[in-house]
Amino acid sequence: MDLVVNGAEQSLDLDPRTTLLDALREHLGLTGAKKGCDHGQCGACTVLLDGRRVNSCLILAITLSGSEVTTIEGVDHPVQQKFLEHDGFQCGYCTPGQICSAVGMLDEFSQGWPSAVTGSGPPDLSDPEIRERMSGNLCRCGAYPNMVPAIREAAER
């Protein structure tokens, strides 16, 4: 099967049971996306699939022929610098997923997508909005209060 990963075409011969996450980590050597639960519960494996954030552990790779995948290795976004400035991580294991998720989330926001905490009218990127929209990405170190201002400031740039 063929897949475009971080702009490069990749040809892969995969077991039909191989997830996108395992294809990236075990077959392409792209270990930036992390395996935290393998069940779509923690968000550490988040990548961008055709521009949208997905849990790569929940998708079988063979269903994606022709798709474009962006992993943390292919991300170049202001949120990364802001994570450094705000200390938006400790162990770093959830970090690639948090950053990919933030990039995808900001795009969803710019398209006017509402969230569970959005009132009537267009949403503004308040801290409660960021927290709600980022809640699919767990962080056991508890770096949440540092990630939220990092994402907010990255969006303001």
Partner 1 sequence: MTTTTERAVGQPIERIEGPDKVRGAARYAAEYQVGDDLAYAWVAQSPVASGTLNGVTVDPLVEADDVLAVLWHGNAPRLAEADDPELAVLQSERISYRGQALALVVARTFEAARRAAATLQLDIAEDPHDTVLRTDHPELYAPEKVNPAFPAATSSGDVDAAFEAAPVTVDVTYSTPALHNSPMEPHATTALWAGDDLVLYDSNQHPPGIAATVGALFDLPPERVHVITEHVGGGFGSKGTARPNAVLAAMAAKVTGRPVRLALPRQALFSMVGHRTPTIQRVRLAAAEDGRLTAIDHEVVEHSSRLFEFAEQTAVATRHMYAAPNRRTGHQLVRLDMPTPRWMRAPGEAPGMVALECAMDELAVALSLDPIELRVRNEPSVEPESGVPFSSRHYVECLRRGADRFGWHDRDPRPRQRREGDWWIGTGVAGATYPTMAQPSTARVRRLAADSYEVSIAAADLGTGARTILTQIAADALEVPVSQVRMRIGDSTLPKASVAGGSSGSASWGWAVTGACRALRSSSSSSSSSSSDEATFDSSELIEKQEKDGKHAFGAHFAEVRVDAVTGEVRVSRLFGMFAAGKILNPRTARSQFLGGMIMGMGMALHEESVLDPAMGTWVNHDLAEYHIPAHADIESIEAEWLDEQDDQLNPMGSKGIGEIGIVGSPAAILNAIWHATGVRIRDLPARLDKILPHI
Residues at the contact surface with partner 1, assessed by CB under 8 A: 15, 17-18, 22, 25-26, 29-39, 41-42, 44, 71-73, 75, 80-81, 83-85, 87, 89-96, 99, 128, 130-132, 134-135, 137-148
Nearer to partner 1, 68 or 136 (CB): 136
Task: Give the C-alpha separation, 64 to 10, whole Å.
Answer: 12
- In whole angstroms, the minimum distance from the beta carbon of 75 to partner 1 comes to 8
Cα(146)–Cα(36) distance, integer angstroms: 21
CA atoms of 72 and 153, how far apart (whole Å): 19
Least Å distance, CB 112 to partner 1, is 21
Number of other CB atoms surrounding residue 103 within 10 Å:
23
3 vs 150 by CB, closer to partner 1: 150
Q: Considering the complex, state which of residue 3 and residue 95 has its C-beta at the smaller distance from partner 1.
A: 95
- Gap between the Cα atoms of 149 and 2, Å rounded: 38
